Amino acid sequence: MERAELALYPFTSAASQYVGELDFELDRLINSRAFQSARLRGEERLIQSLTSGIRKPSLTNTDEGRVLTELLSYPYAKILVSCLNDPYLNRKYSHAEAEAAYSLLLEREDFFLREIGEEFGIHAKQHERGFHLHFADFLKYSTTLKAIEWKLINQRMVHGNVFVERKDFARLLQEAIKKSIHESLPLKVPEKTCTDCSGALSRLKEILQQKKGDVENGQMGEVDSKLFPPCINYAINNVRTGVNLAHSMRFAMTSFLTGIGMTIDDIINMFNVSPDFDEEKTRYQIEHIAGSSGTKYTPPSCSTMKTYGNCHGADELCKKINHPLNYYRRKMWYKNKFKKPANTKEKKGTE
């Protein structure tokens, strides 16, 4: 790989070997002014992974300074992730790095994709419309992809080899990259190093708390959690305290939240409370309920909720409605009716 490529694919063994051969002390990366731009870019990688997704620069081998900055920002970002050691951040970061790599891989030549595959033990061969690889390699990285088209039974298989199109091979590589980065975290970082990074860590903590707290505080875009019916609040409280919901209640809660326009990411954040949380699986289930397969599901009526034992804490308003979504709409109507128009000025006290 060329130098610029090492910077764009910093998770490869060639990139870490290159960094190792630079032979400088970790302390210099953390504290020297010479590496400030690498530290800033490393911090930016993490902020982007929590917000917009990691954006890769366009680099050439002659951009020596920028190549080095980009290359070193990767181990620095991993140091910060390791110091914070937050399962949510670990997942978001691994996912964002892999997603950014996937976008680049789609533009690359076939031999390069095969080279990246070798990095993760995937011995793929080219054929006229894509690649074929051993079914065990396919399974290793496709089990996290829940869409029906990724099931082994739906693949073209000949003599134990699965045939995949080019973009699907790149998608498998994305999963391999994510798995590899996620499993490498947290690194064993000396306590002093984390202390030296305290400025960056407290900035990141703030963004992380804000990101995780948005859902906790009911800040869900246009959605107002204070208007949720008692049954949905009951389900949300259970989820937040790690209690497993019955399938029917999980469906009711998810379809209610998608029904009122909550984003899929915000719903995922709600379910994201345990270290073994499976983001891909949860995303697939939510997207399915939200209509990815052509049918958008709505929550059950109050009478069905009662039949399944999912009506909890019904209040006065519940007596006037027959559907959890109507509860929310009714409360929203009241809220808007009594809301002060934005341009209404406070009246001064009368004389």
Q: Are 152 and 135 in contact (CB under 8 A)?
A: yes
Comparison of 144 and 301: residue with beta carbon closer to ligand SF4: 301
Please tell me whether residue 259 binds ligand SF4 under the rule CB under 6 A. Answer: no
CB of 321 to ligand SF4, least distance (A): 6
Please tell me whether residue 318 binds ligand SF4 under the rule CB under 6 A. Answer: yes
The dihedral over CA atoms of 58, 62, 67, 69, expressed in degrees to the nearest 10, equals -110
Stretch that binds ligand SF4, among 38-46, 133-141, 229-237, 282-290 (CB under 6 A): 229-237
Please tell me whether residue 328 binds ligand SF4 under the rule CB under 6 A. Answer: no
Question: How would DSSP label each residue in 193-221?
Answer: HHHHTHHHHHHHHHHHHHHHHHHHTTEET
* Two structure tokens written together for 273: 């409370």
Q: How many CB atoms lie within 10 A of CB 256?
A: 25
Among 204, 231, 235, 245, binds ligand SF4 (CB under 6 A): 231
Comparison of 185 and 318: residue with beta carbon closer to ligand SF4: 318
- 343: amino acid identity, one letter: N
* Two structure tokens written together for 271: 């379910």
Residue 155: half-sphere exposure toward Cβ, Cα within 13 Å: 24
Please tell me whether residue 302 binds ligand SF4 under the rule CB under 6 A. Answer: yes
Q: How is residue 281 annotated by DSSP?
A: H
Please tell me whether residue 253 binds ligand SF4 under the rule CB under 6 A. Answer: no
Degrees (nearest 5) of the Cα angle 160, 163, 167?
A: 145
Instruction: Please report where in the chains the tokens 């709505």 appear, as a residue.
Output: 298
Closest CA to 18 of 36, 5, 35: 5
Please tell me whether residue 77 binds ligand SF4 under the rule CB under 6 A. Answer: no
Among 14, 26, 47, 314, binds ligand SF4 (CB under 6 A): 314
Q: Is residue 318 annotated as involved in ligand binding? A: yes
Size of the site for ligand SF4 (CB under 6 A): 10
Please tell me whether residue 311 binds ligand SF4 under the rule CB under 6 A. Answer: yes
Q: Is residue 83 annotated as involved in ligand binding? A: no
| End-to-end Cα, the chain, rounded Å | 80
CA pair distance 277, 97, nearest whole angstrom: 19
Largest CA distance in the chain: 92
* Two structure tokens written together for 264: 């899929």
Stretch that binds ligand SF4, among 123-131, 134-142, 194-202, 228-236 (CB under 6 A): 228-236
Comparison of 133 and 231: residue with beta carbon closer to ligand SF4: 231
Please tell me whether residue 324 binds ligand SF4 under the rule CB under 6 A. Answer: yes
CA pair distance 6, 12, nearest whole angstrom: 7
Residues 140-179 that bind ligand SF4 (CB under 6 A): none
Among 67, 71, 189, 305, binds ligand SF4 (CB under 6 A): 305
Comparison of 144 and 326: residue with beta carbon closer to ligand SF4: 326
Stretch that binds ligand SF4, among 80-88, 122-130, 219-227, 311-319 (CB under 6 A): 311-319
Residues making contact with ligand SF4 (CB under 6 A): 229-231, 302, 305, 311, 314, 318, 324, 327
Known binding-site residue numbers for [4Fe-4S] cluster: 231, 302, 311, 318
